[in-house]
Structure 1
Amino acid sequence: MGENHATSCASRVEPHYFDCVLCRHIPHGSTLGSDLAALFDSAHNTFHSANAMEQKQGILHRTTVESVAVQQRGFRNAPLAPLSGSKRSFSETADSPHIEPNKHLDFQSASSVGRELPRLIASDIVALSIPLPSEYSQRKAISATPTSATDRSLSLSFARYALPEPLVSNLNALGVKEIYPWQKQCLLGPGLLDGTRNLVYSAPTGGGKSLVADILMLKRVLEDRNAKALLILPYVALVQEKVRWLRNVVQDVKRKPLHPDERDTKPQVWQKRPDEDNVRVVGFFGGGKIRATWLDFDVGVCTFEKANMLINTAIDDGNITNLKAVVLDELHMVDDDHRGYLMELIATKLLSLGHDVQMIGMSATLANIDILSTWLSAHTYKTFYRPVPVEEHLVYEGKIYPASSTRCILKAASQSQQTTSSALELDSQPLRTIRASHHKEFQDPVLNAVIALANETARSGYGVLVFCSSRQGCESDARLISRVVPQGNELDPAILEKRLDLLGDLRSLATGLDPILAETIPAGVAFHHAGMTIEERDLISTAYDGGALKVVVATCSLAAGINLPARRVILHNARMGRDMIGPSMLRQMRGRAGRKGKDEIGETYLCCRKCDLEDVVELMNADLPQVSSGLTTDKHRIQRALLEVVSIRLVNTRESINDYIRKTLLSLSSTSDLIQDHVESSLRDLLEMGFIKSDNFDSYVATQLGKAVVASSLEPEDGAFVHREMQRALQAFVMDGEMHILYTFTPVQELSASINWQVFRSEMEALDDSGLRVMMFLGLKPTVVNRMAQGGNLKESTPAEKETARIYRRFYLALQLRDLCNEMPVHVVARKYDMPRGTVQTLEQTCQGFAAGMIKFCEQMGWGAMAAILDHFSDRLRAGAKADLLALAKVTFIKSRTARVFYDNGFKTVASLANADPKELVPILMQAQPTKLRVKSKDEQKYEEKLLAKAQVISDSANRLWQSEMQQDLDDE
């Protein structure tokens, strides 16, 4: 044994050779000394004895799993995923240098670090009664459902809609063969198709509400060559998704040609670009360097902030008359306490313009739709239709109740003198029960229910979405679910291949492969939360949508910002953090259930703890909250509203201000006396801060500072703070280092990140003289940082103390920006400052947007030199690189570390990349990968094919940039 351990082991227990963790760490054919060999033989024999016992137990384990699966076969009569096979072996360490070319071993090494956790068995779910007929079964029995064959107006080619044939063909190719009866009724509402009437409508998630808005918006753009439309969404991810959808919808769709007379009178219109006949869809979000203008799009898809900025600029420039349609998606967010008031500002400005612009507001959760239709002078339509019906359930103490029965429970509780949990559970008969688990991990009945329900769905071949209250909860649930669902040899090899590809894609990211995802993805389970990078979330969403993943565990806060429909939605509890979620959030999460085209029905399960039962039952039966104005929550928001309309010259007198206020939603949801008090105090504050000025005739005009605040999209209070900081900086700017510049474009808004004072102290002690001078200049004291690192408290009781605390927080974030600008990867910065990767990436993106605003602020104030400095560092932040890499960083896929690797390998210019064969770039891309794992030849070939495709994109991008540079040089001569 000691003479040739690995060979001996392989000959004695060939089937288990790769399961021997001892053998794997000794190269094949190596020898050991006699003393070490005796010790090794003893440990080796002990291991194989234990492994043989595990192999026997694995047979019993599989038998149990198969019997459970057979018992669960009744879940919607769905086919079970095939179960077979062998127990999975011990995992390979991810960075082991001695991985043999074995397919099973490659999968193990990609999926876990260290020893594999033992498999668990999910609890059985047993039917207690025959379920009542569902809405779906009742609807399915009706054979007279209208179709385009019986009702021609359900076809998009119906003459009344007047849609061009290419547009109808594109929609057909995207799966929209015909529209629903409710969509027809809505579109044929008075004045909608011709654009003379506004529309506010409500339809459940998944009911097809977006198509109505798309049709009306595109009609405005296609019927008028000068027309523009804006589609406004709350989240960047939704904007990006909608841009992709609309570009597919309008592909090869041509607008009506200009009449020759129009070409003679307006040559600048028809000659301005070669693709004039096409419909150009542009997304507006973040702080991109290349900023599209009003002339660069026909359909703009924007976040709230970008839409407000675009409209302000267009009104000020006089281009707003071309705006013919505005779609306000998620209209219920108009009273969102953080950002929703921007929707009200946008709509009120459009109502005050006095020209025709069709406004279309939609939501799945509108309670008082009438007040919104009154505000927008709009036609109203409401439907409860869902093409994929959803059955809702409450899970309590291991029992599953239909949601409809909870109303009876609530009634019984209200009639009971003692509202106890026992009284609440007597008046309803459960449909099914979830048996208690013998595993210690599943002793909590709520967790046991989540695991059992997720396992049942995944084993039936369907997708499941689990919502948790925290990021840690997402990761914990994902790990536990991955230990019960089918994996390894139980699965179709094609599915395993897709999961291997996903692991490879995640590993190739700059952040590397998250160890928990490495553990869960082989089982078809992943998590999705804001602590992850955008790239990670995109890959997981795509894999789930393509069927490679069966279970995704997400935070409640992402319910409205993701589009991950599932057969079954499970809520681990009804809380977001410590607070109970609201009816709208519950509706958003439930709305993810039911995937059109893949599922015949959707199911939701809200798992409830004993202490929360009464609140949960009340929540499940609560009406949606009444929507009101977001301007009432803080008078500073009226300040911003007034400053904007004065700055863009939409109002200039007290009378026009009052007329503007009467057009707000605030005027319909608050008393006139209260509104006037807020208006008076806001005008006084704006005058005192120097943002506006007035003459004796109550005529108002924005000052240079006021216009700078509006141009940079700052809140008035934040604008005043920035102005004070910039005035001080202009008196003595520290130019012999980077810290002062980076601090200047660090966001002033409150971010979720908190200061780790020990890290702050460590970074402060490492600062050079320039950085220390910046601290002193800003009024930051090392003694305070040291005291805080030892457990002190930062006082924030007075305005002066709050401003000082704000400066400390900004400087701490500026330290992170310094590292990002100097090519430190996001995940390394996250680890250094003890923050989630996604939070650091969000900071990076927020800073890009804020930097763009600060550049505009400086330009508006006439501080050109400062604007130029900030512009340069904005480029560095976007590239995540030093100045010598900025040219390379313009190329697609080349940022930060990748740019540095290319630079060090001799590709120092865009021209050198443009003239290179893509095959030459593959070895460099491999060198730029964050990990170096040995893979089998087949996987290596596949990986190289992916890198070659990436290299081709890099080459094409470099060629376009090079040609543009050469053309610019010719133009300058």
Structure 2
Amino acid sequence: MELRQGILHQTTIQTAKQHQGTYSTTPLAGNKRPSPGLDTHSGVPTHASQKVAFQRASSLGRNVSTLVASTIEVTESGPRNSPEVSEYSQRKVVSATPTAGTDRALSLSHPRYALPKSLVENLRSLGINEIYPWQKHCLMGPGLLNGAKNLVYTAPTGGGKSLVADVLMLKRVLERRDAKALLILPYVALVQEKVRWLRKVVQGITRIAPDGVLPGKEETLWRRRADEDTIRVVGFFGGGKIRATWADFDIGVCTFEKEANTLMNTAIDDCSIANLRAVVLDELHMIDDDHRGYLLELCATKLLSLEHKVQIVGMSATLPNIEVLAQWLGAHRYQTAYRPIPIKEHLVYDSKIYEASSKGGVLTAATPLNRQTGPRELMVPPIRVITNSSHKELQDPVLNAVVSLASETVRSGYGVLIFCSSRAGCEFDARIVSRAVHDAHGGDPVILEKRTDLMGDLRSLPSGLDPALDDTIPSGAGLTTEERDLIADAYDKGILKVIVATCSLAAGINLPMRGRAGRKGKDEVGETYLCCRKNDLEDVIELMNAELPQLSSGLMTDKQRIRRALLEIIAVRLATSRDSMDDYLLKTLLSLTAESDVIREHVESSLSDLIEMEFIQEDEQSGFKVTQLGKAVVASALEPEDGAFVHREMQRALRAFVMDGEMHLLYTFTPVQDFSTTVNWKVFRNEMETLDDSGLRVMSFLGLKPTIINKMAQGSTMKESTPGEREISRIYTRFYLALQLRDLCNEVPIHLVAQKYDMPRGSVQTLAQTCQGFAAGMVKFCEHMDWGMMAAALDHVSDRLKAGARADLLALAQITFIKSRTARVFYDNGFKTVAAVANADPSELVPVLIQAQPMKIRLKKQDEQKYEEKLFAKAEIISNSANRLWQIQMQQDIEEG
């Protein structure tokens, strides 16, 4: 039986553009790609109606009536029993699908690839027995296997493009014992997933010595580390207190926003960059992202400016002007449309389902649409029709279509991903769908038991079980939030049948979906349904027929990113004279997409700005040199404007810091990035009224006035016409976020903080995660400015935020599974130190873990023993973790003594 993966997009035209811009391979029109995660729910297009939907969703639960999904009827134009002949069905014929038996080069053990036998065996153990023909042709490109040439290539997601990059990267790392490589990804979740994968790939592999031979017996005697011949894979994704150096890893997997760029800057500055041999730029199309993409360009341009050869491998599923990117990187280019898993695309509107193929489907039949006379019916018949629903909750045809298609797919035994454009929409849809698929598992006791176990795992998380998940998981539908690892694993194993997610939340999950579609080994065919409203049909058709926008440089947007580029290359001494800067700029993508006169004008104005901001100084003899402040800004990975703001704030804080409370320190610790935060001024006023004298003095010191906050709470609008007014508004918003951090550091669960401040739960999570990375940057800023005491204070607050606890719990919070509320329960039960936990029998910890559950769990008698066994296993992990930490502490005490 073939497996089927259903993908539903519930969307308006605006939502469609957001989805297409970041994930889809369907052509679209537009310019720059917007940042993902915008809150515009398709079925609930306004902010007010989103809140209504959210509140309505909160009132729904497992005790409400079930829903019966509408039936979907096949029309005369619908599919018949005769098998469809396609390129995918043709692959079933042996002669049409080459294998290693007919082409030896499709085996990675082929001598051309020169891969160690242990590496080939590791890949085989992970399910990679041979490669696709396109992968062979790509790897055989000129100068790729020996590292002489860069590569830019595009292939549909799920077509195996990552393996090509992995092979080239591993070849470079295996060539020399001192060789390093970087793999740069856009999201933390992808970094974590890739680290796990690569560690399995390189397990047990021995590197060769610099002279090209394996280490002998004599050579092993002087090695400094026992693992020097192994390949160390390390992930970097912000907030870590460890100051990573080039010597700490062999393959670094990192996000490009701070980690990759910062690692390169540090390595260029201290000359350790010479060991870098390969850099992989995944999701290369994101160079066009107006918020983050320019950092990819900065990283690549620095690599092109180095004196030694670094093989650059750039890949993406969507690269419309790959020729320009290949020219920029001096790379061999390769394109393929091969997709091992077929994706059948459909358009749904007005309760009708149309094929959305390029031949004979809705796209080619859309020409009769006429904007002058209004929307008209398509000139192609639908293949299926969704009947109307008798339930008042399902009168909206889009929602009814989503529920009907999801129910049909689940009852057929397959999985469904539903994409919405807002978190409120996700929660609403998940609750509705769960009411329609509540019995889709057919009462299978195994599935029910596993879902119960999943809920237990989610309850044991520091934040507890989210009410929405409590309502939806028993029916098999879930939300991808902080619990997404557990949920994704449950979906992958068939425990959950439906996931409702925003595209940004689902980006890091290795599941079959449109844009991350057709995962080999998971499914044999997939279906996608784009559900839109009738009034949006013409725009949707136009969007689906449009061409992808050309990728271009982001260095000359309104935010003047070229200013940061110049500051960085001066700070790391990559280019300090005007001539060397010209050479550097010629290596940017900007040089291929903008006029030289325009670039020169921006360079001159940017240099003047940097001098005025006191980040650089001009020396008539040597060109330009960075100041202490400029060095601090680069080290902390701040934008120049943000760096100037931080410097002003820190200078004021150093003159008079309020030390008899925590608010001033928390404010200093709060990120300065634009979170597009909407301040609820009534909540702000309420929190202001609860501040103690210390907190009120911080407000006064920062220039925040209670009268202004009261006026805003009554409906006034904050002025932001001038730079001064915008800075004042920024300070108010930053203090509002600092209030949230105060609660997080004092053991208030994330979902309660979100509810209190009228913020989406995910936004509070993002704030907490971003703060850790920002704190690491601020510590570096203070260290470079010789403000050691401030750096130490920020480090302490970073520990508290990571632990979600007060200072007395920081030691306990280092133990696996012991965070926030759980740490407090351990502390109150007498386990106040790591040593106390380490010396306890695991059975003694089980009652504490039961007490630490956020809510009382009612279990049947036969389930109690199983539940306690599960907690005992968790207690053993806690005990082992505590013992490891205790041994380290004792060793440190011995060394210091």
TM-score (norm 2): 0.90
- Which of 265, 271, 275 pairs up with 1:322? 275
- Say if 2:553 and 2:593, in contact at 8 Å, map to a contact too: yes
By how many angstroms is 1:120 displaced?
A: 1.9
- 1:121 has 2:65 as partner: no
CA distance in 2, matches of 1:635, 1:764: 34
**How many Å separate the matches in 2 of 1:363 and 1:761?**
47
Alignment RMSD (CA, Å) = 2.5
Superimposed CA distance per residue, residues 752-798 of structure 1 (whole angstroms, 9 cap, x where no aligned partner)? 43211111111111111111111111000011111111111111111
SS in 1 for 2:555: helix
Structure 2 CA distance for aligned equivalents of residues 375 and 145 of structure 1:
35
* Cα distance, 1:421–1:177 mapped onto 2, change above 3 Å: farther
Distance 1:706 1:619, change over 3 A: same
Q: How does 1:255-274 map to 2 (within 5 A)?
A: 255-256=207-208, 271-274=223-226
Structure 2 residue 613 is matched with structure 1 residue 613: no
2:437 to 481, 485, 499: 485
In structure 1, what is the Cα distance between the partners aligned to 2:213 and 2:495? Answer: 57
* 1:237-273: CA deviation from partner (whole Å, max 9, x where unpaired): 1101111111111111121257799999x99996332
Asked which structure has the greater RCO (Cα within 8 Å, sep 6+), the reply is 2
1:773-812 map, 5 Å: 773-812=697-736
The residue that corresponds to 1:928 in the other structure is 852
Partner Cα distance (1:77, 1:464) in 2: 6
Match of 2:288 in 1: 335
Local SS of the residue matching 1:512: coil
Q: Structure 1 residues 414, 123: CA separation in 2 closer, same or farther (over 3 Å shift)?
A: closer
- In the alignment, what sits opposite 2:487? 540
How far the C-alpha of 1:486 sits from its partner, in A, is 5.2
Counting only pairs closer than 5 Å after superposition, residues 212-291 of structure 1 correspond to structure 2 as 212-256=164-208, 271-291=223-243
Cα 1:285–1:861 change in 2 (3 A) is: same
Name the aligned partner's letter for residue 193 of structure 1. L
Q: Which runs of 5+ in 2 are unaligned?
A: 7-58
Provide the residue aligned with 1:956 in structure 2: 880
Change over 3 Å in CA distance of 1:145–1:406 after alignment to 2? closer
Deviation of 1:204 after TM superposition, in Å, equals 0.1
Q: Which digits, 9 at most, give the CA deviation of each residue in 1:801-829, with x for residues without a partner?
A: 10001000111111111122222222222
Structure 2 residue 695 is the aligned partner of structure 1 residue 771: yes
Contact 2:512 2:523 in 1 (8 A): no
Write out per-residue CA displacement over residues 264-293 of structure 1, whole angstroms, 9 at most, x where no aligned residue.
9x9999633221121111000120123432
Mapped pair 1:969 → 2:888: no
Indicate how the Cα distance of structure 1 residues 630 and 453 shifts in structure 2: closer, same or farther if over 3 A, else same.
same
Separation in 1 of the partners of 2:318 and 2:606?
32
**Distance in 2 between residues matched to 1:592 and 1:643, nearest whole Å:** 37
Matches within 5 A, 1:190-201: 190-201=142-153
Between 775-784 and 748-757, the greater mean CA deviation after superposition: 748-757
Equivalent position amino acid for 2:324 in 1: I
Q: Is the 8 A contact 1:487 1:523 kept in 2?
A: yes
CA deviation map 1:871-905 (0-9, x unaligned): 22221222122222222222222122211211222
Q: Whole-Å Cα distance in 2 between the matches of residues 487 and 342 of structure 1?
A: 48
State whether residues 830 and 836 of structure 1, in contact with CA within 8 Å, keep that contact through their aligned partners in structure 2: yes
Comparing 473-482 and 803-812, the one that deviates more:
473-482
The answer to whether residue 422 in structure 2 is matched with residue 470 in structure 1 is yes
Distance between the aligned counterparts of 2:418 and 2:441, measured in 1? 25
Q: Mark the CA change 1:828 to 1:442 in structure 2 (over 3 Å): closer, same or farther.
A: closer
Whole-Å Cα distance in 2 between the matches of residues 684 and 215 of structure 1? Answer: 45
**1:610 aligned partner, one-letter code:** K
Match of 2:502 in 1: 555
Contact persistence 1:406–1:617 (CA under 8 A): no
1:893 corresponds to 2:843: no
Quote how far apart the aligned CAs of 1:141 are.
4.6
How many Å apart are 1:176 and its aligned residue? 0.8
- Would you say 1:168 and 2:120 are equivalent positions? yes
**Residue 642 of structure 1, CA deviation:** 0.4
CA distance in 2, matches of 1:867, 1:495: 51
Distance 1:420 1:552 in 2: 40
Partner of residue 684, structure 1: 608
Instruction: Write the distance in 1 (CA, Å) between the matches of 2:213 and 2:3.
Output: 67
What is residue 761 of structure 1 aligned with on the other side? Answer: 685
SS in 1 for 2:409: helix
CA drift of 1:524 comes to 1.2
Q: Which residue of 1 aligns with 2:771?
A: 847
Q: Distance in 1 between matches of 2:797 and 2:220?
A: 36
Residue 272 of structure 2 corresponds to residue 348 of structure 1: no
1:191 alignment partner AA: G
SS in 2 for 1:373: helix
**Distance change >3 Å, CA 76–CA 745, structure 1 → 2:** closer
- Aligned counterpart, 1:658: 582
CA contact (8 A) 2:175 2:212 kept: no
Whether the 8 Å contact between 2:768 and 2:801 is mirrored in structure 1 is: yes
Q: Secondary structure at the match of 1:604?
A: strand
Moved more, 292-301 or 472-481: 472-481
| Pair 1:128–1:894, CA change in 2 (3 A) | same
Structure 1 or 2: larger helix share? 1
Q: CA 1:707 to 1:444, structure 2 compared with 1: closer, same or farther past 3 Å?
A: same
Bigger mean CA offset, 114-123 vs 201-210? 114-123
Amino acid at match of 1:351: L
In 2, the alpha carbon distance for the partners of 1:829 and 1:972 equals 42
Look up the equivalent residue of 1:544 and give its one-letter code.
Y
> Could you say which structure has the larger radius of gyration?
1
CA change 1:506–1:318 in 2 (3 A) is same
The one-letter amino acid paired with 2:653 is A
1:640 to 548, 559, 564: 564
Q: Report the counterpart of residue 524 of structure 1 in structure 2.
A: 476
* Residue identity opposite 1:722 in structure 2: V
Quote how far apart the aligned CAs of 1:466 are: 1.2
Distance in 2, matches of 1:309 and 1:207, equals: 32
> Secondary structure of 1:633's partner?
coil
**Mean Cα deviation higher: 804-813 or 479-488:** 479-488
Does the 8 Å CA contact 2:176/2:210 hold for their aligned counterparts? no
Note the alpha carbon deviations across 1:498-524, whole angstroms, 9 max, x for none. Answer: 111112222222322223322221221
1:831 alignment counterpart: 755
Q: Which moved more, 1:173-182 or 1:902-911?
A: 902-911
Equivalent pair of 1:459/1:486 in contact (CA under 8 Å) = no
Identity among equivalent pairs (%): 69
Q: CA deviation at 1:416?
A: 6.7
Q: Tell me if the contact between 1:134 and 1:391 (Cα under 8 Å) persists in the aligned partners.
A: no
- Please give the alpha-carbon distance, in whole angstroms, between the structure 2 residues aligned to 1:282 and 1:617: 45
| TM-fit CA distance, 1:406 | 8.2
Matched to 2:311, the amino acid is: Q
Give the residue type in structure 2 aligned to 1:338: H
Verify the 8 A CA contact 2:122 2:202 in the aligned structure 1.
Answer: yes
After the TM superposition, which of the residue ranges 407-416 and 201-210 deviates more from structure 2? 407-416
Residue 19 of structure 2 aligns with which residue?
none
Q: Equivalent residue of 1:632, what SS?
A: coil
Give the 3-state SS of the residue equivalent to 1:700 in structure 2: strand
Measured after TM superposition, the shift of residue 679 of structure 1 is: 0.5
Query: How many residues get paired?
Result: 839
Partners of 2:630 and 2:369 in 1: how far apart?
A: 60
Matched residue type, 1:541: A
1:396 aligns with 2:372: no
Change (3 A) 1:271 1:165: same
Structure 1 segments unaligned to the other structure (5+ residues) = 1-72, 79-110, 567-589
How much has 1:620 moved relative to structure 2? 1.5
Q: 1:392/1:925 Cα in 2 relative to 1: closer, same or farther (>3 Å)?
A: same
- 1:493 offset after TM fit, Å? 1.4
Give the Cα–Cα distance (whole angstroms) in 1 for the partners of residues 75 and 491 of structure 2.
Answer: 29
Distance in structure 2 (CA, Å) of the matches to 1:238 and 1:194: 28
Check conservation: 1:367, 1:624, Cα contact below 8 A. yes
Residue 803 of structure 2 corresponds to which residue in structure 1?
879
Q: In 2, distance between residues paired with 1:157 and 1:74? A: 31
